[in-house]
Each structure stands twice: as C-alpha cells, then as structure tokens.
Amino acid sequence: MKNPFLWLFRMSRPAASPHVAHRPVVPPTPAVAPEPDPFDPVWSLLTGPAAAQHAALTPEEAEQVEALVPMVLEHFSRNRPDLSTFPALAVQILDLLNEPDLEMNRLLRAISPDPAIVVHVLGAANSVMYSRGAEIQDMRTAVMRIGLRGVGEIAAGVATRTLFDVPQRVEYRAFKDRWNQQFLDTMAVAFGASQFAFEQQVGRADLAFQAGMFHDIGKSLALHSVAAITISGEVASPVPDHVIDEVLERVHVEVGCALILIWGLPAHLSDVCLHHHDKDIPKSLDFMNLHSLRLASGMHRLVLDPTSTERLDETRQSLQALGLSRRAAQRLYHEMEHQVERVAVLFQV
C-alpha cells in the first residue's frame, strides 16, 4: 500500500532552479614543504663516509711546523710555571663543585669576596638569559635565579681566567683574538659537557666540567711560547694561522699533562689530558666523562663550522661508544649552540 503522505514530501522539495550557478571547483592547497632541519647536514657528516681530518699543509708550511714544535717545547721547558701560578680560589671552587650536597652559604662565602666573580655572577643573573624583569643586586638572589651549579661554574671560569692571560702586553697584542677565543671555547665546552652529563646521566657533571676546563689547557701555555719566540725574532713572522693550529695540536697534550702535574690537580685530569684524543678509550679510565667531553668538544667545532672535519673521527667514536641516537645528538648540538651564545654574554672580552 502506498504511503498517502508521500505526495506531501514530494511537493515540499524545491525545484532545481536553472539560474543557480554551480560553485567553482577550488583546487586543493598544495602541501607546504617542511623547512630543512639545520642539523641534517651535521648528522650526515657524522654518519657519512670518512673525510679528510685536516687541510693539507704545503711543504714549506710542514717544514715550518716541524721546526716550531721542538722550539715551543724547549721554550716551555725553560719557562715552566710554578705552583703559585694556579689561582688558589679556583682550587677552592672546584673542590666545592665536587661536593654532592653543595650548600649555598659555603659557596657564597668562597666567591663573594672576589669582585670579578661578583660582577660576572650579577651580570649573568641580569642578562637576557636569566632576567625576569626585576634587577638583582645581591648574590644570594642571583644564586637562587641561576642555580648553585651554574654560579659555581661561572665562578670557576672567572677564577681560572688568568690561565688564559699573558704576562707581556706585547704577547697579548700578537695573538689577541686567539687568547680570547681559546678561553671562550674552553668555557663553552666545559659548560656543554657538564650539562650533557647532567641531563643524560652520563658520568658526573662536575667531573665533565673539569675535563672541559683542562683538557686543552696546554694550548694556552704553548701559545705563550709561540708568541715569545715569534716576538724575539727566532722565527719569521707572521706565522700562518693554520701552522700555529697544527703546532698547538702537536704539543698541547705534553704541555697540558706537565701543567696538571705542576699544579697538583686531581689524577683524573691527567687521564683526561693524556687520553682525550685516543682512538680507543679503555673502560679502566674515566670512560663516560671522557666521551662526554669529546662529544661536547666535537659538537662545539661543528656549531662554529658545520663543515668542519677536525677530530670528526673522535666525535663519531664517542657517539657510538655512548650509543646516542640522532635525537640525543641533535639535542647536544643545540645545547652547544646555546653555550656558545651564553659564554659570549657571561665572559665579554
């Protein structure tokens, strides 16, 4: 039986109008390609085929390096610093950083009498990295804002700054940019290694910081010798930058290990200085902290120059030794970007 009300529904349906235009067909919006990740070429370099580690020296430059290396070592041997050249306050601060339960009052008593440290800590607390609007004028509030470990590491950097200074103004003028850059590089690597060890729970943050501070300390003192023998006229000047780089690479381990012994620094720093360029790091050494240091140092070089192949094999070995994923490597790379910016603000030179 037909539904008697069906005709009502048929009548209520509007007739199609011949004058209604069809809607235009809108083409689909093309997908926006994602922006390239700046870490991609760095990761490709780290995981790609082996590359040349250094730019080749010309025969003349290689000959100059061979002549300079023994001269630098001999000059350092004749002018070795004594124990008093290592800042006593730096020893106290490094000892405090080794304590698992560092107290604010002990740290403040150690660093507050030093005007340079106070200026740097207050400057850091009021910088764009930590400032929250209200100006900080006292050390206790600065410590609460930055954190005990952060303040201790800043103070250690300021206290050891003299190790990167030169006694002769003429020597400083000869390599001014190098003196400053060596110190900034050292602090960036030390901060980065410490933060990596802390976040990834790899080794100990305090030991990783110390490793960053002292693994290349031999380069600073070796540069004193390069400056001295250059200014004295023992070698023809100017010496090309990459020749100096190669000389410092050749001598910094021997010079650095001698300094650590002279200053009576902890034994683990001797291991760091002696073995941080080894191809295979045995488990008997400070395995985790050595690899944290090498990763921070390698990523630091890649932040400064994403195409750098200097010590690339060491960075790769440490990535594999710690079993780091791409994500973890990327986080460390961005952490080193932050540390490069941070030290430029904290230690304006």
Burial status of residue 193 (CB atoms within 10 A of its CB: 0-12, 13-18, 19 or more): buried
Burial status of residue 88 (CB atoms within 10 A of its CB: 0-12, 13-18, 19 or more): exposed
121, 151 contact by CB (below 8 A): yes
- My answer on whether omega of the bond before 34 falls inside 30° of 0, hence cis, is no
Token reading at 129? 């990295």
Which among 309, 308, 301 is positioned nearest to 336, based on CA atoms? 301
**Per-residue pLDDT tens digits of the chain, which is 349 residues long:** 555 544 444 544 555 555 555 566 667 766 666 677 788 899 999 988 766 566 678 888 899 999 999 999 999 999 998 888 888 899 899 888 888 888 889 999 999 999 999 999 999 888 888 877 778 889 999 999 999 999 999 999 999 988 887 655 556 566 778 888 999 999 999 999 999 999 888 888 999 999 999 999 999 889 989 988 888 888 877 888 889 999 999 999 999 999 999 999 988 899 999 999 988 887 777 788 899 999 999 999 999 999 888 889 999 999 998 899 999 999 999 999 999 999 998 887 5
pTM value is 0.84
Query: How many whole angstroms separate alpha carbon 1 and alpha carbon 298?
Result: 87
**Amino acid type, 123:** G
Query: What is the 3-state secondary structure of 176-205?
Result: HHHHHHHHHHHHHHHHHHHHHHHHHCCCCH
Query: How many whole angstroms separate alpha carbon 43 and alpha carbon 69?
Result: 35
Query: How many whole angstroms separate alpha carbon 149 and alpha carbon 121?
Result: 12
- Maximum CA extent, the chain: 120
Instruction: Kindly tell me the sign of the dihedral angle through the C-alpha atoms of 306, 311, 316, 320.
Output: negative
**Coil, strand or helix: which one is 17?**
coil
